[in-house]
Amino acid sequence: MPSEFESSARRTGGSRSPAGERAPGRLGALRREYDAGRFDRGDLAPTWDEQFARWFEDAGGLAEPNAMVLATADGDGRPSTRTVLLKAVDAAGFVLFTNYTSRKAREVAANPHASLLFPWYPLDRQVCVVGTVERLTAAENAAYFASRPRGSQLGAWSSHQSSVIAGREELTARRDAVAARWPGPVPAPDFWGGLRVIPRTVEFWAGRPDRLHDRLRFRRLPDGVWIVERLAP
């Protein structure tokens, strides 16, 4: 019996790809021209963080402009991705917060390398980051945790992130227990905190017509000096 995917391919005139897999014809026909405007080296800020700040300001009207795709890999090189939120950025790197028992945190503990992608589709822009990962200090974690809404604080204590649970009722019961335990200020958990991605490369991608995109990359040399390179699209 043909799969739903195969049936869909037949209905839409799908054909086999060079790899021999059937692809729905409508996917091959999906195409949009990009044009973020000319983007040359002369348009860049002096540093990657200043350039990021410029583009982040331009993305301010988008839904969650600080949403980014974080890619990590375990000690055997098996990758995983998820969308997380950027909570701080400066010349030292990009900061996010998580449960330290989560899959992402366990993976960077075993393999302290990661990449980030900011997919600002409406602007025909992306920012791609590759670098190493370090944990924030306990003081930094506590300062940020104190700034979070109470519900988010309770949620951090309630969720054993990435673990298997029986149902949502388990989460609700944990949250209620935490709320009863701390009716006032909620302390930061010692199993929760920040991760900083320290960039080795930061690429600024601007979509252009005919798939001839502009790609300008800041790359840090072993001596710490940053250079700028243009990449082929």
Active site residue ranges: 211
From residue 163, alpha-carbon distances to 101, 102, 107, 111, 131 in Å are 9, 8, 14, 20, 27
Which residues lie closer than 8 Å to 38 by C-beta, 6 or more apart?
208, 214
Cβ count near 139 (within 10 Å)? 9
Q: Are strands 113-120 and 93-99 parallel, antiparallel or unpaired?
A: unpaired
